[in-house]
A and B are shown apart, each in its own frame.
Chain A
């Protein structure tokens, strides 16, 4: 019971105990909006669930990069597209892996696996600054290790085939790449907000197990749309991991697009969800 209370307090447990039968009728709403997370919460540093959550983000991002970059390498190495899983297969690798990993880590860390998602949720006051920074650092480290393992398998081919790094394709401007990253990340983070919304969870009879599916689909769909433009970042850790391990000029030249774009997209999604869809500030006022 102590452990559970601790988890509930630090917010690691996203699904608090349901109200006992009969008492829910006393409130006019069948859901409870969690209070805004404090900016700094020193107490959570002393809790194992905090450190465990960061480790979970590290492992998840590591596996994500390993599977996805290895899939990209397989397609690139193939003699022709027809002999490989193709671009659609790459999109499935990204989306499917996010689905599986969010499912596994949703109850541990919230299943972000993406600094842009962490940033968006931070702006919506869902987690503290300390936790947000910790998650982002662990995600970036996990991404570097994941891409590193792929390079370890075949160092020469990895370098010759582009290392799965994100760059803006020939024929597109930096503005187009930035725009694609902004809108792509908006789709993803907005889906995350919808999937984790307290109001929707109540009306969906508290079946949180289903939340990862639309999130995975969102990643898959954005990859289908923007792989021709940027190889699809929408995840700064993914872009950073590949850029560091590949370490060529062309990867670094455009790298800023893959941080600025996702963070702007996440901010827009947070604004849209909190201000327009949920109108939370106006409710607080009244």
Chain B
């Protein structure tokens, strides 16, 4: 039997329900603890994300530096770094999905804001918390190993030699598109209904999307696709090279998130044309 069936009264009955668009300003949510708890959760999640991932990057560079006591094939490898990023997103999204929606990334927050799934207030608060959490996370890494941190590049994102600005920007745009598009698919109410409402499975493809984008673009930019991640490392490392290229890691992800939001909302879900259709039928009545 088709999922969308004609009811006896002529109205369509669906086994899923799209939530209504979130208002831009929702003053009522400011009075609820759940908003502040969500912001705290985003801060802690981003802190842990940056701490584990940047620590993995620095640890790898220490152990594979053959001039300073490291060995060939030492450390966890570039593959291990990609696993650190993707795996950490998986468990943190898993832990905070029910609290804040598990964004941990300003680009994801921006994409969901464009799709009217979070209010402007919430979006701004999340982004601020994510950036602060990122700074604190990298700060911990530097505190634990200050000299190593500075000597091995601070885990900061910048364009690798041999790549031009346009290439880096394109890599960030497409990489973030993959991530945000996966987030939209994983949280789509229509798909949740058909997957028998097991939302615990949503974090896994999101984590894998991050993992695979890192596999592809670590050689180009060290892989940002998360403005908070790039910002945190740039602030703590504080050298000119990361700052020179830093704009790429905000413009790219935000463009990628915009394209993903547009693609999912207007092409795949066709919510725009359905809205127009409902207006038309209302006029007829």
Give me the interface of A with B, judged by CB distance under 8 Å. Answer: 80-82, 86-88, 91, 171-172, 176, 179-180, 183, 186-187, 190-191, 194-195, 199-200, 203-205, 207, 210, 213-214, 217-218, 220-222, 224-229, 272, 276-277, 279
Q: Is the CB of A88 within 8 A of B95?
A: no
Q: Is the CB of B198 within 8 A of A205?
A: yes
CB distance from A87 to the nearest CB of B (A): 5
Q: Is the CB of A214 within 8 A of B145?
A: no
**A225-B56 contact given A87-B75, A204-B198, CB 8 Å threshold:** yes
Which B residues from 51 to 91 make CB contacts under 8 A with A? 51-53, 55-56, 58-59, 62-63, 71-77, 79-80, 83-84, 87-88, 90-91
CB distance from A174 to the nearest CB of B (A): 11
Ranked nearest first, the 9 interchain pairs of A and B with the lowest CB-CB distance are A81-B73, A228-B59, A194-B95, A82-B73, A225-B55, A176-B144, A88-B80, A88-B76, A204-B200
Residues of B within 8 A of A279 (CB): 33, 37
Q: Is the CB of A80 within 8 A of B75?
A: no
Residues of A within 8 A of B72 (CB): 80-82
**A183-B198 contact given A225-B56, A279-B37, CB 8 Å threshold:** no
- With contacts defined as CB atoms under 8 Å apart, how many contacts are there between chain A and chain B in the complex? 126
Q: Is the CB of A224 within 8 A of B76?
A: yes
Say which residue of A171, A179, A221 sits within 8 Å of B87 (CB atoms). A221
Q: How many residues of B contact A (CB 8 A)?
A: 48
Closest B residue to A204 by CB, please name it.
B200
Q: Is the CB of A221 within 8 A of B84?
A: yes
Q: Is the CB of A191 within 8 A of B37?
A: no
**A86-B144 contact given A214-B90, A217-B91, CB 8 Å threshold:** no
Residues of B within 8 A of A195 (CB): 94
Interface locus among B40-48, B119-127, B157-165, B180-188: B40-48
**For A191, A199, A213, A217, which residue has the most chain B Cβ atoms within 10 angstroms?**
A217
CB distance from A211 to the nearest CB of B (A): 8
* CA A210 to CA B198, docked complex, whole Å: 10
Q: Is the CB of B51 within 8 A of A225?
A: yes
* CA A207 to CA B204, docked complex, whole Å: 15
Say which residue of B37, B94, B201 sits within 8 Å of A276 (CB atoms). B37
**For A176, A191, A214, which residue has the most chain B Cβ atoms within 10 angstroms?**
A214
* CA A266 to CA B201, docked complex, whole Å: 26
Q: Is the CB of A224 within 8 A of B99?
A: no
Q: Is the CB of B37 within 8 A of A277?
A: yes
Q: Is the CB of A205 within 8 A of B196?
A: yes
Starting from the known contacts A172-B145, A279-B33, 4 additional A-B residue pairs (CB-CB under 8 Å) come to A81-B73, A221-B88, A226-B55, A229-B144
Residues of B within 8 A of A225 (CB): 51-53, 55-56, 59, 84
Chain B interface, >50% SS class = helix
Q: Is the CB of B63 within 8 A of A180?
A: no
Residues of A within 8 A of B74 (CB): 81, 86-87
B264 interfacial by beta-carbon distance below 8 Å: no
Residues of A within 8 A of B196 (CB): 205
Which B residues from 212 to 246 make CB contacts under 8 A with A? none
Q: Is the CB of B73 within 8 A of A191?
A: no
Would you mind naming 18 contact pairs between A and B with Cβ atoms under 8 Å apart? A81-B71, A86-B75, A87-B75, A87-B76, A171-B145, A179-B143, A186-B48, A191-B94, A194-B96, A204-B200, A210-B200, A214-B90, A217-B90, A218-B91, A224-B80, A277-B37, A279-B33, A279-B37
* CA A172 to CA B146, docked complex, whole Å: 10
* CA A180 to CA B52, docked complex, whole Å: 10
* CA A217 to CA B58, docked complex, whole Å: 20
**For A80, A210, A228, which residue has the most chain B Cβ atoms within 10 angstroms?**
A228
Q: Is the CB of B80 within 8 A of A91?
A: yes
* CA A81 to CA B65, docked complex, whole Å: 13
Residues of A within 8 A of B116 (CB): none
Closest B residue to A193 by CB, please name it.
B95
Closest B residue to A194 by CB, please name it.
B95
CB distance from B86 to the nearest CB of A (A): 10
Q: Is the CB of A228 within 8 A of B199?
A: no
B262 interfacial by beta-carbon distance below 8 Å: no
* CA A222 to CA B52, docked complex, whole Å: 7
Q: Is the CB of B144 within 8 A of A224?
A: no
Residues of A within 8 A of B90 (CB): 214, 217
* CA A186 to CA B92, docked complex, whole Å: 12
B194 interfacial by beta-carbon distance below 8 Å: no
Residues of A within 8 A of B77 (CB): 86-88
CB distance from B223 to the nearest CB of A (A): 16
* CA A87 to CA B83, docked complex, whole Å: 13
**A200-B59 contact given A80-B71, A205-B197, A277-B37, CB 8 Å threshold:** no
